[in-house]
Chains A and B, each alone.
Chain A
Amino acid sequence: MIRFVAGRLLSAIPILFVVSLVTFLIIWIVPGDVTAEIAGGDATPAELEAIRQNLGLDRPLLERALAWYGQLLQGDLGHSYLLNRSVSDAVFERLPITLSLAGLSLVIATVIGILLGILAAVRQNTWLDQGAMVTALIGLSVPDFWFGIVMIILFGVFLGWLPTGGYVPITEDFFGWVRSMTLPALTLAFTQMGVIARMTRSSMLDVLNQDFVRTAKAKGMRARTVIFKHALINAMVPIITVVGVITGVLLSGAVVIESVFSLPGVGRLIIGSIQRRDFPIIQGGLLVTAAIFVFVNIIVDVLYVWFDPRVRDDR
């Protein structure tokens, strides 16, 4: 197992190198630079030129590339043009927000999604099945920004139960943090749980029709034991695949939710930096995000092996 994990970790290095190279090239090809943001809407060309020189943006591409990789090898991701802080500070101070949002959403989406899926499978072709799948379909179909605004108006403005946006760090006030994360996490989870629910239903139906389940039932086992101990465990591999994919979607989908709920997370940082052309943040932020994606994929691979040792043997 250790060898398996080490192999996966080593394979991440060339992937991250390619990511950094592609990111670097793409952002320097994209027209425009940060001067537009600094100078404001109606700046004169002379003002833009002055700012460009101040930031060293008039230097040749190769010179800037070498400088960036030189810094990277020393563990320095560079300095933001606009945020008055280093890239690593800017990214890592926001990472907990994005990870907690994605993490909370993942837990909610997975728990509700799996329960809905199981319910739909064991009560196949009943109104419960139909209801669960319609709920899942609505979650899949509704745009998350629209659903977010609806949640804000309902729970923030009309009912006044939860804040309309903003972030309270967990270190400052735990309950404030819970309140600030509830609506965003629910919104994000609702739009993703449908995929898990549908995959669970389909996977469970396959397993529930197999001989070993029939045998378990014939032995007089309780329905709950048959479903959770025998059927669900064996239905988990496709569900894990979907959950792994959704983890990525949640991390990237968090961008929209972070904007709607004014959460200063990594997604909003990177999207804002792309709009502002804050190149060091884009480069550093994408590298860190890519590393997280790679890491999540390694975890998914390990979980495959955990749930189904045949996978390891096949490899």
Chain B
Amino acid sequence: MGVYHQLKSLGRALTVTGALVLSTAFLAGGAMAQTMGGDFIVVQGSNPPSLDAMSTSSQASRNINMNIYEPLYGFSEAVTPIPILAETCEISDDGLTYRFPLRKGVKFHNGKEMTAKDVKASLERYRKVGATGNLLDPVESIEITGDYEVTFTMKKATPTFLEAFSSPRAPAVIIPEEDAETEAGKNSFVGTGPYKYVEYVPDSHVKLERFADYSADTRSTGIDGFGGNKTAYFDTVTFRIITEPGAQVAALEAGEVHLLEQIPVPAARRLEGNADIVTYENMPWAFNTFIFNMNVPPSDNPKFREAVQVALNMEEIMGITTEGLFQLDHGWQYAGTTYDAGDIGKEYYNQADADRAKALLKEAGYNGEEFSILTDGNIPGHSKSAIVIAEQLNAIGINAVVNQVDWPTALKIRLQPEGWNGWTLQMGIEPYLGPVGLIATLTGEKPHFIKNDPELDQLYEELISGSTVEARKATFAKIQTRMYEFFGVIKLGNIGLMQASRSNVKGFKPFRFPRVYNVWFED
């Protein structure tokens, strides 16, 4: 070998070594940036009604529970089903069998390894106490087909099943077999997530602790929606319950807490120039809607409902409701998502057309009957929307009155077939779940608007039996068309959610719940 070749080899070796050293240095640098330790204090405004993830679909519970528990399947960041505790899901050609091989070596917080027995027991409990246990209705039986495998046998092919099964609404999480017989809310709060439950002092806090034996899902490099590769950096996480928004903001400014799950928009704008605080805009977060009771006059008349639709000035309603954090959007799925139906119905949205509305009222034969708008004071956006809607409807001659009660009373009244005409509701999780989750609330035995629209019911059946995404997209376009034909519910716009953290909190990405894993304190 000549000197030239020797030098060339040395150069190549040095290059490779240098590259290795550099890459190691960068990797080490990256790892060093993510420091372990500390107590991360998250603030939310209300108590979790339950820490039994299966039995509640409340956001206040989901915020905490999704850091403790994990399901077999969940949604990715792009809202598609991804395996979390399952390895995968193999669906038979006829759609009647779903085989779920499980990840091995996954530990529960009590130290026990998760096996097929735990999965079957959890899902059987879910059928009984799950707030959305009916999503297992299409499943005939769940069989243990291996130590680390369960198989579902379906009653009939349900193409949208995996999507529904992945729903985080009241998630079908996996808990130890020993908890299978417990009543709703009485389990031991043991899950498989990166943080484990320590204590709950109602009206004060929920404390979680890093689960040292957490079995990270190494199939991905980082977090992805409800799944992905999770790492718990904090020693403990405290979810503090502070009801007063002013006190929440003060605590963040004083540095006593690290993350506000929700911050009033004006306060967030004020803090934008504060170097110690970072604000996050979670947009879109929810639909703002106005639902009609199609069972009683005058809202039983489609022409009357159309008049309301064209009369409303959505920009004004949304601006006042959200204090400026909104999107004008007529669509019944978020723009840019898989099922976005484009411009269908846009010609009816945000018209503020008093003349057309008055003509429609005349056509409807409206004679000044009372139009009672039901709303509640617990969720300020509900009552603000109701008041602006009432004012706008009064301006075109509708005798609109606002009936403001508290939240449990509003829910009680709106289930009654009479006694209300319109109801303001922010839909948070349904639009996120996709068209099936959303339309399910408007069809079936007890639709939001009391009286079914047979055509919508039929389209819902078509939607859930659509075998391909393309087929379902086509059906959803028909659904959006129908929504702007019978006007059972009015889409007012999209609402955003503002969050804020101290600036030394790193890695936090806004999502459907505050993910307290893959987040750390900067040194």
Contact = CB atoms under 8 A, between A and B. Distances in A.
Contact of B183 (A54, A145, A261): A54
A311 interface: no
B209 interface: no
**Chain B interface bracket (under 10, 10 to 19, 20 to 34, 35 or more):** 35 or more
Given A50-B131, A262-B204, A44 B446 contact: yes
Interface stretch (A32-40, A205-213, A241-249): A32-40
Given A43-B57, A54-B183, A276-B49, A166 B256 contact: yes
Interface stretch (B211-219, B239-247, B364-372, B503-511): B239-247
A259 B243 contact: yes
A31 B412 contact: yes
A92 to B, nearest CB: 13
Contacts of B202: 82-83, 90, 264, 269, 272
A133 B185 CA distance: 54
A54 B134 contact: no
B3 interface: no
A41 interface: yes
A198 interface: no
B446 A152 contact: no
B247 A41 contact: no
Given A36-B411, A44-B441, A166 B56 contact: no
A47 B409 contact: no
B429 A42 contact: yes
A167 interface: yes
Given A31-B409, A45-B446, A259-B243, A40 B134 contact: no
A82 B50 CA distance: 6
Nearest to A265: B203
Contact of B242 (A39, A47, A165): A165
Interface stretch (A65-73, A110-118, A153-161, A218-226): A153-161
Contacts, number: 170
B440 A164 contact: no
Nearest to A42: B427
Interface residues of A, number: 54
Contact of A259 (B185, B244, B256, B407): B244
Contacts of B440: 44
A32 B348 CA distance: 35
A242 to B, nearest CB: 29
B256 A47 contact: no
A303 to B, nearest CB: 33
Interface in B232-264: 240-244, 246-247, 250-251, 253-254, 256
Contact of B413 (A31, A51, A94): A31
Contacts of A31: 405, 408-409, 412-413
Contacts of A269: 202-203
Contact of B186 (A45, A84, A149, A167): A84
Contact of A264 (B49, B129, B201, B256): B201
Contacts of B254: 156-157, 160, 163-164
Contacts of B242: 165, 262
Interface of A: 30-48, 50-51, 54-55, 81-84, 90, 94, 145, 149, 152-153, 156-157, 160, 163-167, 258-262, 264-265, 268-269, 272, 275-277
A87 B132 CA distance: 28
Nearest to B200: A84
Contact of A42 (B61, B200, B241, B428): B428
B244 A41 contact: no
5 contacts: A32-B409, A39-B56, A39-B58, A44-B448, A54-B184
A268 B203 contact: yes
A40 B59 contact: yes
A264 B247 CA distance: 14
Contacts of A166: 204, 240, 256
A297 B288 CA distance: 50
A152 B250 contact: yes
Contacts of B118: none
Nearest to A272: B203
Contacts of B55: 38, 51, 54
B57 A39 contact: yes
Interface string B398-424: 000000011111111101000000000
B159 interface: no
A30 B406 CA distance: 11
Given A149-B246, A261-B247, A275-B408, 5 more contacts: A35-B411, A39-B57, A46-B445, A48-B411, A156-B251
B444 interface: yes
Given A31-B409, A82-B47, A262-B247, A42 B441 contact: yes
Nearest to B48: A82
A156 B56 contact: no
Nearest to A40: B58
A36 B250 contact: no
Nearest to B406: A275
Nearest to A258: B203
Contact of B250 (A46, A50, A157, A272): A157
Contacts of A32: 406-412
Given A44-B446, A277-B408, A163 B256 contact: yes
Given A41-B379, A264-B204, A164 B256 contact: yes
B247 A149 contact: yes
Contacts of A156: 250-251, 254, 256
Nearest to A43: B57
A261 B410 CA distance: 29
